[in-house]
Amino acid sequence: MTSTHKTLIGSAILAGLLPLVGNGLYDGGDSSGTAVLRQAEEGLPTIAYAAYSLELAGFVALCVLLGCLATLIGRRSPVAAVTTVVVGTTAVAVKVASVTPEMALRVHHDGLDPAVAELMAGLNGAGFVVFGFLLSVTLTAAGIGLLRTDEPRWLAWWAAVVGGLGAVAGVVGILEPARYVPVPFLLLLLWMMAYGLTTAVRPTRRMTVATPVPATQ
């Protein structure tokens, strides 16, 4: 197994697993204005540091995975490869930037009105919806690109179809945040792990170069 395959396998599994584990450990707690201010004054619980570290590591793994996918599909589907990288990078940037209001809240919480605190905390949730939309578009493009490779077609269709559903759910969530359904997003995280595990157990294809046959006279 080549180092490229190892990188693809590791990044795919970690990109799907770490956000799930991190969110399972700590989901942010109560988002009401009073609770948000109280948490800002008391500081984050210890488990939150572990949870946020796992999620950030997952985003790094996602960036590596997107690079691997773009390399894999780039020759046969360059448009899908470019879309995967550009939209995927934007998705990660949006998600990471969505924590900045919460960071500012922890520093400047003195005398802050609970309604304003709740609004600032809500920006994090809005960022998650936009991130889900962009990630869905990213993996839709990757799935379409994978359909033109030798990768398992059921995995390619999974990414393309569920990614499309996630994009629709993201549009609904952007227009009506309370109606956002994160199920396709969660299925895409599972897809990353399934893709990594499937790649790990599949035999590595080696490119063979035909030996030229000397011309006979």
What pLDDT, in 10s, does the model give residues 93-106? Answer: 998 888 887 777 77
pLDDT of residue 204: 60
Confidence of residue 208 (pLDDT cuts 50, 70, 90): very low
The token duo for 163 is: 């990614």
The answer for residues whose C-beta is within 8 angstroms of residue 84's C-beta and 6 or more apart is: 66, 69, 70, 73, 138, 139, 141, 142, 145
* Cα–Cα dist 1/206, whole Å: 10
pLDDT in tens, 166-193: 999 999 999 998 899 999 999 999 999 9
23-45 pLDDT, tens digit each: 888 877 667 777 777 777 777 78
Q: Would you mind telling me the total number of residues written for the chain in this entry? A: 217
> Rounded to whole angstroms, how far apart are CA atoms 139 and 166?
10
Q: What is the pLDDT of residue 205?
A: 53
pLDDT over threshold 90, residue 156? yes
pLDDT of 214 over the 60 cut: no
pTM: 0.85
